[in-house]
A and B are shown apart, each in its own frame.
Chain A
Amino acid sequence: MDNNVNAVKKDGKKKNNFKSNEMIMMVFVLVLVILIFTVLNKNYFTYANMSNILMAASTIGLLAIGETFLIIAGHVDLSCANIAAMSAVITAILINGGMSWPLAIVLVAAGSTIAGLLNSCLVNVFELQPFIATLATSNVFMGVAYLACSGKSLPVGDKGFNAIGSMRILGIPFPAVLMVVCFVIFGFILARTIFGRSVYMVGGNAEAARLAGLNPKMVSTILYVISAVLAAFAGVLMTAKMHSGQPSAGSGAEFDAITAAILGGVAFTGGTGNLAGCFIGLLIMQCFNNGLTVINVSSFWQIVAKGLLLIVALLLDFIRRKKVFRKFLEILKAKEN
């Protein structure tokens, strides 16, 4: 039996099948989650509720794109949710100060690049661990968000701006459309461009990538900036959705974003994963969370469940790595014989 499997694996095409098998698996899990909750409560699989799920997924989705890129490259950004919060508040302040909303968005996005560069500087110039560096800046950004609005939420009256949050295209909420468009564009960048390839190579082995002519520090700098700008857009969406800039909006969303990436098969060891997987991981997580609400699980238990979901995701990651490792051992053994 085992021999048979190995024989098939020697064929190169098997590898691709293996990858798409994993994808089919994840889609299957997603369908399963939706089915279970639909059976438990008829109100789950309805247009209104599915819209809710997509709406909630949109901001986390933008953050998850940034995290996926960074994690594949061997980095991580814990500050993105607070960059979003900071951007949410500052957008509200700018619009309330009389600025036209398109200009406000451009300014906030431009400002967020500074936050991304700060993260990159700590990691690449001062060589801090990404986890520690962005944990520190995360607090700074959160503080700035609270300082800017004195801790109060800032209502925004601009109808044109608020429409961003409530507008629908072909019946689908605009934020969800925006998120999907971003997933497609960045998915293409990751899978098909030189830059995307560099991300994988740098994450797989930064020193080897450097000695083959790539620039790992430049790659990670661009990624921190991308993560920050996407976070700024997430912040703008939050303000538009809630019609107010709230400093507490999106707190903890960085972990939801990381959870989505890991559920979608992005390994924390770097070098592997893709955005399609991340997208399905995101949907699994959102459908799961929403389902718990729909079937009236207490919000405290929901927190526990979210934690358990992350543990399951990490265990999957572990098993996957084990599999690769075991394969490697088999090869060593085969060579000795």
Chain B
Amino acid sequence: MENYVEFKNIRKAFVGVQALDGISFRADGGEICALLGENGAGKSTLLKILSGAHQADSGEYFINGREMKFHSPMEAIQAGVSVIYQERQLVSELSVTENVFMEDLYCNRAGIVDFKRSHEEMQRIIELFHMPFSPQTKVKKLSAAYQQMVEIMKAYRRKSQVIAFDEPTAPLTDAEIDILFGLIQRLRDSGKVILYVSHRLKELFRLTDKIIILKDGRFVEDVRTANTSEGYLVSKMVGRNVGDTFSALKRNDQMGDVVLEARNLRGNGIHNVSFQLHRGEVLGFAGLVGAGRSETMQLLFGGDKVKSGEIYIDGRLKKIRNPKDAIEEGIGLCPEDRKEQGLVLGRSIRNNLTIPILNKISRRGIIDRKRERKLSKEAVAAYRIKTPSIEKIAMELSGGNQQKIILGRWMLADLKVLILDEPTKGIDVGAKAEIYQMVCDLAREGLGVIFISSELQEVINICDKVIVMRDGTVTGCLDRKEMSEEGILSLAMQENGE
């Protein structure tokens, strides 16, 4: 019987975000079917629903015509679905056999594991896959690619009919990718349904038969890989109407001197990043997740150790060893992860606002509470943080208001440079618009603003210049006039050596 997976009108919402908005499509066995879309298009959410990690709010999905409703990953596995994530789900201290047969090792009647038989079975599978390791090998001794093979063998052993890959090639070298692709093609030829998520367009042309394009949680189109082009895919991934939000923004037109310059920054997976930031400029950083944008900012801000390279502020060479140094030089950072890195969630708005300026509002180490309250109230008013009181606990506010606390914190700190790392992630549309205007206002006041975002529309409509990164290096720099989603995406996705 022919295998197939079919999705019908799948919807899934997280707090404030409609991650999947009625997705329907069908993937057949004997085909490799790619899921393509920007960050946040809903690819991973869809895989998580298929693997039982999340449950859909509404809609149905079928495997070989039977409706499925997985409540846990175990149910999905039993129904023949395996999802192979970028982070491998292996126990590195155990052998290949133990990992592959994890929940199903051969046992004798007393319940004691029959390792001889298990290893023999494993050997049979290894030979089938032409792998160079033995059943007894510990998983931690294998390379990243072979560990992935172990995952695939696990899926094979479970006789999974549906195997999904989520960005499997990200940690692999070219030679390893060849091995992986060979294997995926063999799985396809044996009639399994293969779903393949990747950002790398070149790979899709090499490997897949069909491409399903998703955007903002909606199904856009499915195309045969043989009948399409990179340009067409990119335009379909992107194409959306520019909202009125952006046209209403009052942007800054006057740029001042260079306030911050980075020369050949290295460390933390970053290679030779150089750029200049002017007063009054909004400098965008675009790239895919993992391109090294946040890592670059952590280097600038002293959050991570700089291996080599120089940072100039107002033309003078500065040594920034920790965030405190950076703040003293007038640099502020709104980190990527608001809850883990940005806020002390259990403390009040007032406490969170004044962390970097405690020295300024104190005399001989004693905090001037009147002054603290006054400044906090000013920040709450200026940034329109919706709260009845400055004593409200940060945890109790919405994502947008939490983000505004962090912005307000830096407003109080009197900065030259503000770094915003994904400031609009996971917040609602209204708050987004407010944050865009705040960014433009800060630039008009003469701050240099660095704006990292995975939403290209934001970058294009707010930034004066955008630097595109990939794999820890800068792959290009576009001016306001040159910016287009297609241009940025092709720089962000281009393969090495091109």
Q: Which residues of A contact B (CB under 8 A)?
A: 10-13, 15-16, 192-195, 197-198, 200-201, 204-205, 207-215, 271-272, 324, 327-328, 331-332, 335-336
B164 within 8 A of A: no
Contacts known (A194-B365, A271-B347); A211 close to B391, Cβ less than 8 A: no
Contact A212 B340 (CB under 8 A): no
Contacts known (A209-B355, A212-B323); A193 close to B367, Cβ less than 8 A: yes
Contacts of B324 in A (CB 8 A): 213-215
Partner of B389, one of A13, A197, A212: A13
Interface range on chain B (Cβ under 8 Å from partner): 35 or more
Contacts of B359 in A (CB 8 A): 194
Partner of A204, one of B15, B344, B396: B344
State the Cβ distance, B341 to closest chain A Cβ, in Å.
5
B409 within 8 A of A: yes
Contact A192 B367 (CB under 8 A): yes
Contacts of B388 in A (CB 8 A): 10-12
Give the CA-CA distance A209 to B343 in the complex, in Å: 8
Contact A205 B343 (CB under 8 A): yes
Contacts known (A209-B355, A332-B15); A271 close to B362, Cβ less than 8 A: no
Partner of B391, one of A15, A208, A324: A15
Q: Which residue of B lies closest to A212 (CB)?
A: B355
Give the CA-CA distance A331 to B394 in the complex, in Å: 12
Contacts known (A193-B367, A201-B344, A201-B351); A331 close to B389, Cβ less than 8 A: no
Contact B345 A204 (CB under 8 A): yes
Interface centre among A193, A209, A215 (most CB of B within 10 A): A193
Give the CA-CA distance A69 to B352 in the complex, in Å: 19
Can you list 22 contacts pairing A with B, beta carbon distance less than 8 Å? Answer: A11-B389, A13-B389, A15-B389, A15-B392, A194-B365, A194-B366, A194-B367, A201-B351, A201-B355, A204-B347, A205-B344, A208-B344, A211-B333, A211-B335, A212-B323, A213-B323, A213-B355, A213-B356, A272-B346, A328-B396, A335-B15, A335-B16
Contacts known (A15-B389, A195-B365, A208-B341); A331 close to B301, Cβ less than 8 A: no
Contact B362 A12 (CB under 8 A): no
Contacts of B390 in A (CB 8 A): 12
Contact B395 A328 (CB under 8 A): yes
B484 within 8 A of A: no
Give the CA-CA distance A193 to B364 in the complex, in Å: 9
B358 within 8 A of A: yes
Contacts of B395 in A (CB 8 A): 324, 328
Contacts of B23 in A (CB 8 A): none
Q: Which residues of B contact A (CB under 8 A)?
A: 15-16, 301, 303, 322-324, 326-327, 333, 335, 340-347, 351, 354-356, 358-359, 362, 365-367, 369, 387-393, 395-396, 398, 409
Contacts of B351 in A (CB 8 A): 197, 200-201
Contacts of A212 in B (CB 8 A): 323, 327, 355-356, 409
Contacts of A193 in B (CB 8 A): 362, 365-367
Contacts of B367 in A (CB 8 A): 192-194, 197
Contact A208 B323 (CB under 8 A): no
Q: Which residue of B lies closest to A195 (CB)?
A: B365
State the Cβ distance, A327 to closest chain B Cβ, in Å.
7
Give the CA-CA distance A207 to B393 in the complex, in Å: 18
Q: Which residue of A lies closest to B325 (CB)?
A: A213
Extra contacts besides A15-B389, A215-B322, A271-B346 (19): CB < 8 Å? A11-B388, A11-B389, A15-B392, A192-B367, A193-B362, A197-B351, A201-B351, A204-B346, A204-B347, A205-B340, A205-B345, A207-B340, A208-B340, A211-B333, A211-B341, A212-B323, A213-B326, A324-B346, A327-B396
Interface centre among A198, A205, A271, A328 (most CB of B within 10 A): A205
State the Cβ distance, B275 to closest chain A Cβ, in Å.
21
Give the CA-CA distance A15 to B393 in the complex, in Å: 9
State the Cβ distance, B356 to closest chain A Cβ, in Å.
5
Contacts of B326 in A (CB 8 A): 213
State the Cβ distance, A291 to closest chain B Cβ, in Å.
35
State the Cβ distance, B324 to closest chain A Cβ, in Å.
5
Q: Which residue of B lies closest to A332 (CB)?
A: B15
Give the CA-CA distance A197 to B354 in the complex, in Å: 10
Contact B362 A194 (CB under 8 A): yes
Contacts of A197 in B (CB 8 A): 351, 354-355, 358, 367
Contact A12 B365 (CB under 8 A): no
Contacts of A332 in B (CB 8 A): 15
Contacts of A331 in B (CB 8 A): 396
Give the CA-CA distance A15 to B362 in the complex, in Å: 25
Q: Which residue of B lies closest to A194 (CB)?
A: B358
Contacts known (A193-B365, A201-B355); A12 close to B391, Cβ less than 8 A: yes
Q: Which residue of B lies closest to A328 (CB)?
A: B395
Contacts of A10 in B (CB 8 A): 388
Give the CA-CA distance A13 to B393 in the complex, in Å: 12
Give the CA-CA distance A204 to B323 in the complex, in Å: 18
State the Cβ distance, A5 to closest chain B Cβ, in Å.
15
Contact B355 A214 (CB under 8 A): yes
Contacts of B303 in A (CB 8 A): 210-211
Partner of A192, one of B16, B343, B366, B409: B366
Contact A209 B389 (CB under 8 A): no
Q: Which residue of B lies closest to A202 (CB)?
A: B344
Give the CA-CA distance A203 to B362 in the complex, in Å: 21
Give the CA-CA distance A15 to B389 in the complex, in Å: 10
